[in-house]
Amino acid sequence: MFSNWDRCYTRAEHVCRPRAYKVIAKSSDVKEDPDDYAFGWNPAGYFSRRMLIVCH
């Protein structure tokens, strides 16, 4: 909840070590439609961060 993107990048470095990685997508890149949610907003979006990477 209180973590920032630095924690995700640190984890990506650890997972791909010793190789490099490339960020494919981040949760903030996703454009959500307010009509998809009962109250017009996604409460889970405020508490989680997701990042898709590929090691290379």
Q: What is the pLDDT of residue 52?
A: 94
Q: What is the pTM of this model?
A: 0.61
CA distance 44 to 56: 31
pLDDT score of 19: 95
**What's the pLDDT score for residue 1?**
44
23 to 7, 28, 54: CA distances (angstroms):
14, 12, 7
pLDDT given for residue 5 in this prediction: 84
Residue 38's pLDDT is: 61
- Please list the rounded mean pLDDT of every run of 10 residues in the chain (56 residues): 77 95 82 59 61 94
